[in-house]
Amino acid sequence: MIVGEQKPLQEIKELIGDGKKVLVAGCGTCVAVCFAGGEREAEILTSALNLSFQVDGQPKDIEEIMVQRQCEWEYVEPLADKIVEHDVVVSLACGIGVQTLVERFPDTWIVPGLNTTFLGMPQEQGIWVERCQACGNCILAVTGGICPVARCSKQLLNGPCGGSQNGICEVDPDMECAWQLVYDRLSRMGRLDLMVAFQPAKDWSVSRDGGPRKIVRKDLLMLGEAEY
């Protein structure tokens, strides 16, 4: 899931600026799961903004709306009539959702209400942890399902650094060494032979470092679509 956290109220107010009619758009998927941009968060933010602007002596007309997700055209289409009525839209989606709204509604000023942080999972109640960097070349099959790109502080591909001690990362004493986790997993599965398999230098061209990425499934393209 995509994990995000809500921007400070003051920052959101500054992003709204001189806008008089403001729409807070919640997203009911990833950011709802991490309690950052779902229906409840949209309602709370709307109330907080209305109250704060009133206290400042600058009352605004602020309301909220929810969609299941903001990252797909068919889900944001129902927002069309509502968005054109407002000066500013505060999107509580991830950065993908914000950009989807911008592409679909190019004449409306749309600002992010969240900071998109990482691809992760809920470790326990109230705690989310990073597990993937979407690097474009997954090696989980040779590391026992533990990702050294996302979980090793130095993104090492061939074992731990010299700073790893007693299974703890030298960068943070509260962080487990990713390569200790890899070793423990492979040992448990009887696959320690994979530890000595050399991993070549990572091909970062398939990650974000190679520019914005796109996947095209020609078998899914409908006849008459523009060529890719």
**Is residue 148 domain-resident?**
yes
- Do 98 and 172 lie in one domain? The reply is no
Residue 18 forms part of a structural domain: yes
Q: The domain spanning residue 25 has which CATH number?
A: 3.40.50.2300
Q: Please indicate, yes or no, whether residues 111 and 143 belong to a single structural domain of this protein.
A: no
For residue 228, the model assigns a pLDDT of 47
90 and 183 belong to one structural domain: no
How is residue 168 written in tokens? 């703890």
Span 195-204, average pLDDT: 89
Using pLDDT thresholds of 50, 70 and 90, give the confidence band for residue 223: low
Contact 3, 111 (CB under 8 A): no
Question: Per-residue confidence at 61, pLDDT binned at 50, 70, 90?
Answer: very high
Please tell me the distance from the alpha carbon of residue 178 to that of residue 152, in angstroms, as a whole number. 5
Write the CB contacts of 102 (distance below 8 Å, at least 6 apart in sequence): 110
Which alpha helices (H) appear in 72-224, and where do they start and end?
A: 73-76, 80-83, 95-104, 148-151, 178-188
List pLDDT tens digits, range 154-166: 999 999 999 999 9
- 219 falls within a domain: no
Number of domains forming the structure of the chain: 2
Q: How high is the mean pLDDT of the chain?
A: 93
Range of the domain at 105: 2-118
* 93 and 165, same domain (yes or no): no
Task: Determine the length of the chain.
Answer: 228
| Mean pLDDT in residue range 184-203 | 93
pTM beyond 0.75: the answer is yes
Shared domain for 102 and 8, answered yes or no, is yes
Q: Does a structural domain hold residue 28?
A: yes
Q: Is residue 113 located within the same domain as residue 186?
A: no
In the predicted model, is pLDDT for residue 188 greater than 60? yes
Task: Give the pLDDT band of residue 216 (cuts 50, 70, 90).
Answer: confident
pLDDT in tens, 15-52: 999 999 999 999 999 999 999 999 999 999 999 999 99
Q: Does the pLDDT value for residue 152 go beyond 90? A: yes
The Cα–Cα gap between 139 and 119 comes to 16
Same-domain pairing of 7 and 110: yes
Q: 96 and 142 in one domain?
A: no
34 and 102 co-located in one domain: yes
Residue-wise pLDDT for 97-120, tens only, equals 999 999 999 999 999 999 999 999
